[in-house]
Amino acid sequence: MVAFVCLLSVAAEPAQIAGRIQVSEGPTPFISFVNTTVTDVVGFNSAQFLIFPKTGSATRPIKARYARSYLEARGYFNPQNGNLTIPVFGLYAGRPNRVSINLGFNDRVHRLRRINIVITTPAYDGGTYSNPTVIQPRLLGTALSYDFILLKGYAQNNTPIIIDSDAEIRWVGTAGVGAQSCMLFDNAFYLTSGTSLLRTEFDGVTTPVADYSAIGVTGFHHNIDPGREGMIIDVDTVDQTESVNLEVDADGAVLRTWNLADIISAAMVAGGDDPSLFVYPAPNDWFHNNTCAYRSSDDSLIVSSRENFVIAIDYDTGNIKWILGDTTKHWYEFQSLREFSLSLAQGSLPPIGQHSLSMPGDQLLLFDDGAGSNFQQPPGETRNYSAPRKYQIDLGAFEATETWHYYPDPSVYSPFCSSVYEDAPNNYLIDYTLGGPYVYTGIVGLDALGNVAFNYQYDELNFCGTAWNAIQIHWEDVDLE
């Protein structure tokens, strides 16, 4: 179907562009395809689009550049006849979009040619995602290092959902999957379905990457996180529930496997303890791994066990380095695990039921849910509030010092799910899921001065299903080679 397009101007020589500019609709209102013909086939080297933000918005334009090699490989450029298709993603739905397209050529005289068009897109009804409660809008003049947000939700079959800092939907998933696990990696979205890893391109095309059932994987859970070389996925296996991680590359090949049941059991045996009193086979959720992070400074994998603690292991050997957690929980009753426990500096609180580990500036950032254990007994402390926290880890002193936290007023208790991530220094994105408790998902941005840059609330769907986790992405300068 051909979408409405208004051609504002074309700054190009007849020797380089021929024929009319046509725009066809994509798989969603947020994607369109601009079609033209390039006559300087030999000299053509790239195509770039820029989508201007809506009037009055502080959000930066979406800009993406396609190399000729990328366009040819995807079938968008025909080197025989010069037919060119430019996928434009991140459009506003249900309104005119001002779009500028630059075509690059090797010709020194006519190196860059610009086409300015208006693309009017169909409306989109995203339910609560289209109708958030605006507690604090993004204001002009607000300085943020990021403008686009990936919402990881599984309540609908459109994972992932991308919004901008105005809470405008700018992209929805096309794989027909409502997946908890999702990540932007290698200029595409990776998500899970059954025992398979899928890849969805920005143009909406989805391809299966790998199926892991042959190695005992029975399903995926929680997150996909950046690893040392690839992506770290959280899997269930025939033997273990939520305590096995795989690092895989962009093609889905397994690079490493960490079985936390084996790692912790070995340490407990070496320390003279019986691991059967702490580590359990499937289907017992004794560990409940919900996120991982790579710490490059000492080549460690940092793993969140909501039931127990944050644990650091050597990336290659799997040997335990340290543990940070509530010492009133069951794990601390075992001397073999207690010897790995970091002490806490005065005034620092331990994380409880934590989610969304990351290591910005070599500090440990996490969302401290504040809810005690469900499986392990004793369950430890339970607070009546949640808080994002950051820790400095000093291995020389074997101590963790809390360096930052955020306490909103009024406080929010989000006992499960939720996340916090830092983009540029002190530019945070917080996701309160089940805040209130159990009534909404809150997406909050903090600027470098600690001010609330925006605050949006969405109806809670299917127990954390609206957006159990949310993270910043950068679509203001995408380069597709």
Judge if 136 and 104 occupy the same domain: no
pLDDT digits (tens, 9 = 90+) for 466-481: 999 999 999 999 999 9
Judge if 321 and 265 occupy the same domain: yes
Tell me what pLDDT residue 437 has.
56
Given a cut of 50, whether residue 10 has pLDDT beyond it is: no
Tell me what pLDDT residue 108 has.
64
Given a cut of 50, whether residue 104 has pLDDT beyond it is: yes
Judge if 216 and 264 occupy the same domain: yes
Mean pLDDT of 46-50: 97
Residue reference for tokens 């995408």: 478
Judge if 430 and 387 occupy the same domain: yes
pLDDT digits (tens, 9 = 90+) for 66-80: 999 999 999 999 999
Given a cut of 80, whether residue 110 has pLDDT beyond it is: no
Mean pLDDT of 171-182: 96
Judge if 142 and 107 occupy the same domain: no
pLDDT digits (tens, 9 = 90+) for 281-315: 999 999 999 999 999 999 999 999 999 999 999 99
Whether this prediction's pTM lies above 0.85 is answered by: yes
CA–CA dist 414, 397 (Å, integer): 32
Tell me what pLDDT residue 463 has.
86
pLDDT digits (tens, 9 = 90+) for 140-157: 888 899 999 999 999 999
Tell me what pLDDT residue 20 has.
77
Last residue of a domain, one of 120, 153, 187: 120
Tally of CB atoms within 10 A around 67: 15
- Say if residues 258 and 245 touch (Cβ distance below 8 Å): yes
Residue reference for tokens 């859970």: 221
Last residue of a domain, one of 87, 120, 153: 120
Judge if 85 and 136 occupy the same domain: no
Tell me the pLDDT band of 362, cut-offs 50, 70 and 90.
Answer: very high
Judge if 244 and 111 occupy the same domain: no
- Say if residues 431 and 419 touch (Cβ distance below 8 Å): yes
Task: Give the rounded percent of residues in the chain with a pLDDT score beyond 70.
Answer: 95
Domain count, the chain: 2
Output 18 or 268, whichever has higher pLDDT: 268
pLDDT digits (tens, 9 = 90+) for 411-463: 999 999 999 999 999 999 999 997 555 689 999 999 999 999 999 999 988 88
Tell me what pLDDT residue 9 has.
47
Q: For residue 402, what are the domain limits? A: 127-480
| Segments of 166-295 assigned E as strands | 169-172, 182-185, 188-193, 196-200, 206-211, 217-226, 231-237, 244-248, 254-259, 289-295
| Segments of 43-105 assigned E as strands | 44-51, 62-67, 83-89, 96-105
CATH number at residue 363: 2.120.10.30
Last residue of a domain, one of 120, 145, 170: 120
Judge if 115 and 137 occupy the same domain: no
In 3D space, the residue among 466, 425, 462, 461 whose CA is nearest the CA of residue 446 turns out to be: 425
Tell me the pLDDT band of 19, cut-offs 50, 70 and 90.
Answer: low
Residues in contact with 422: Cβ distance below 8 Å, sequence separation at least 6, in sequence order: 358, 360, 361, 365, 390, 428
Tell me what pLDDT residue 204 has.
97
CA–CA dist 185, 446 (Å, integer): 24
> To the nearest whole number, what is the mean pLDDT of the chain?
94
Tell me what pLDDT residue 6 has.
54
Judge if 51 and 147 occupy the same domain: no
Tell me what pLDDT residue 109 has.
57
CATH number at residue 106: 2.60.40.730
Mean pLDDT of 336-346: 98
Judge if 78 and 156 occupy the same domain: no
Judge if 17 and 72 occupy the same domain: yes
Judge if 238 and 325 occupy the same domain: yes
Residue reference for tokens 């070496």: 270
